[in-house]
Chains A and B, each alone.
Chain A
């Protein structure tokens, strides 16, 4: 459980947000994240994030599905218990294509969703500190981590000057935890100044 200090700046327009991100980054601050109500096009590049490799994982899961299906059915119908079904050959690959395809898709989809949950640290009952209630409503919430060298009030002023509609300083739990929101929010979140 690591409590850290964060400066929070809330923006309400994309055209104000993007120049603000650029300015904060060139000023040398480390943006922890920007919490948005919907995926903002180009924001991940503006923040310097690397592309996700989730699709590669999906492909690998899919290939696993294909191989599982082909090898299992082949072993069952050519080695373990071959049957004479309407005189068709034991290795009837055309007949197995539907199942091979379905299993490919199933493994890829289930695998990708589980990987997505794992990477984003999401599961039923997982709690995280939410910096602003309206991050899922209509505000773009920029959160900057404070090191020892950061002057939080200067940073707050900078954010206000580049267009933030609300600024805040919060000391909060950085990681995720299990529990209930209302109870533990009291313990884990302190508002330091407005």
Chain B
């Protein structure tokens, strides 16, 4: 007689009773197949957007920041909005790879490769904005503290704008290293299956000669764990430093200590929404629904409703403090410039509230969390809402601050500013389409690692063990590591 309890909470991480060979086949086959027509269409659209973006950037570099309709006092408009938006999106990938590894969440294996790729491409897009918003882009190297012949003139280490330079560069480098070191064994898998000499050569170079040796795996696991341990505070610190760009200023609506946790929660919120958007398409197009299961979608939606609620609480806290502080400038910024629907930018504030606070509450319902169409629609809404959050923060605080005689005319973006933003979409999707075609979109080795313990085949295998007599069970399974 066995005492047995079957948990209702844990679903299989991999459906379909897969063997290791099937896992390899399912994930690597799309890389070896010719690209489909849909891929070509998407890729060409992305390249077109990227080209328009390149031309927009050319306009700005040649004719100046005025091309973006930026002027006193709105010195930051769509440029920094987009920067913070892209960086925020990037954070989810690191969270899934690093934080979920530290929390021993096996379900990360289905989604971490694509999410981490999303991070790399999002940070590449984000980095375009601080670089090009400098105006004199050809002097961008001025931000680097190196011994020079101008004094030597150093950078201002006390400024959050410089902390950003270090933070974003470090974040990009560490994310790239973490992602690529995870890719090495998977490239080796593709290399060993390669049918043409060119593929074998290219994937051979990409895999750095990975052999699968146990000693190398031992070091690889240690490396992944430490990189995850480093990436976790990195995620928190990078978006905190980005929030300091605003929090260390003095203008109402910006000068607040709530920004670091508020920004980090918002970043995770928008990042997970973007991961959902991408993965819902990838799993369908590549037929990987056995690996990126509805359980994964469910869990990510739980994170979305959690972080969306945190962001909502932060909005309400800010509104409350705008009143409670009795500071008339804070009160004006929050209760007139933002919350009053018919003020010049009130529409953007209420759009933000609707998208970020009200709409994700739908994910309290299990049925909605597990519905692919609702999830896809909601993920777009959340991303739009989070864009508006950064827009609201930047523009409403800049266009009317302390001195009414300095208040600005209504700011709206120019075509070149919009073009730059669309160009980053082009960059992101060009990179992502190339990633989806030539790289394994799921971490093959990691799926195999969790396959026997968490795949659908676990239950029948366990039933075999349960059928054994008691002594045989103890003899075979008592651990003597």
Contacts and interface: CB of A to CB of B under 8 A. Distances in A.
B67 interface: no
B368 interface: no
B218 A137 contact: no
Q: Which size bracket describes the interface of B in this complex?
A: 35 or more
B213 A110 contact: no
A24 interface: no
Contacts of B184: 122
B110 to A, nearest CB: 15
A80 B154 contact: yes
Contacts of B226: 54-55, 58, 108, 112
A72 B145 CA distance: 10
A128 B166 contact: no
Interface string A72-86: 110011001101011
B158 A55 contact: no
B370 interface: no
A156 interface: no
B169 to A, nearest CB: 8
A76 B157 contact: yes
A98 B237 contact: yes
A45 B209 contact: no
A121 B140 CA distance: 37
Most buried by A among B191, B201, B205, B219: B219
B223 A14 contact: no
A101 B233 contact: yes
B80 interface: no
Given A113-B223, A130-B192, A52 B208 contact: no
Contacts of A109: 173-174, 177-178, 227, 230
B173 A110 contact: yes
A136 B212 contact: yes
Interface string B10-31: 0000000001110010000000
B228 to A, nearest CB: 11
A123 interface: yes
B192 A137 contact: yes
A39 B218 contact: yes
A10 interface: no
Contacts of B160: 98
Contacts of A49: 214-215, 218
Contact of B24 (A14, A124, A126, A137): A137
B459 interface: no
Contact of A126 (B208, B222, B223, B237): B208
Interface stretch (B111-119, B288-296, B397-405, B442-450): B442-450
Contacts of A119: 219
A180 B452 CA distance: 36
B1 to A, nearest CB: 25
Most buried by A among B156, B184, B192: B192
A171 interface: no
A67 to B, nearest CB: 16
B274 to A, nearest CB: 24
Contacts of B158: 85-86, 88, 92, 95-96
Given A37-B445, A138-B21, A121 B188 contact: no
B163 A35 contact: no
B129 to A, nearest CB: 19
Given A45-B481, A96-B157, A109-B227, A137 B211 contact: no
B305 interface: no
B364 to A, nearest CB: 36
Contacts of B427: none
A97 to B, nearest CB: 9
A7 interface: no
Interface in B166-181: 166-167, 169-170, 173-174, 177-178, 181
29 contacts: A14-B452, A35-B211, A35-B212, A36-B217, A37-B20, A38-B446, A39-B220, A44-B218, A49-B214, A52-B218, A55-B226, A81-B154, A85-B156, A88-B158, A92-B158, A98-B166, A98-B167, A105-B233, A106-B174, A109-B227, A112-B226, A117-B208, A130-B211, A135-B212, A136-B210, A136-B212, A137-B189, A137-B192, A138-B19
Interface of A: 14, 33-40, 42-45, 47, 49, 51-52, 54-55, 58, 72-73, 76-77, 80-81, 83, 85-86, 88, 92, 95-96, 98-99, 101-103, 105-106, 108-110, 112-113, 116-117, 119-128, 130, 133-138, 141, 176, 180-182
